[in-house]
Amino acid sequence: MLSTIVAFVVTLLVAALVIWLVGRLNLGLEVDSFTSAIIAAIVIAIVTAVVMWLLGLLGLSLGTGWIGAIIALIVSAIILMISDKFVSGMRVHGFSGAIIAAIAIAVINWLISMVMGMFM
């Protein structure tokens, strides 16, 4: 039970760090503070769960390969734009900004996961 809570907190902090870093890079996403990034990470997780649930109800999946990656990128950008409406300290600059931010979030998240994998 405790390991699940610790894993959740670490995942949340890493997601918030990624959002905060992308916000600092001015890649289509602005975040006012690390607290806003934490709130944004929670909201993005909730919106992602709802969107994936709705896609599942419709019998749709993101797929694999290049087409799946492109669809996942578009879905991530839409999720960022939806989350922008719920988090006062986060702003997404249009769909192109959301796509660029989604790519940056994916790359930074991949890099952090790779580094964490080396130590765990």
Summarize pLDDT for 35-89 with one digit per residue, the tens: 988 888 888 888 888 887 887 888 777 667 777 778 778 888 888 888 888 888 8
Considering the entire predicted model, what is its pTM?
Answer: 0.76
**Contacting residues for 1 by C-beta, under 8 A, at least 6 apart:** none
| Residue position matching structure tokens 């580094």 | 115
Give the pLDDT score at 31: 92
Domain boundaries, the chain: 2-119
- State how beta strands 29-31 and 90-92 pair: antiparallel
Please report, as a single letter, which amino acid is at residue 40. Answer: A
Model confidence over 90-111: pLDDT tens digits? 999 989 988 988 888 888 877 8
Do residues 28 and 99 lie in contact, with contact meaning Cβ atoms separated by under 8 Å? Answer: yes
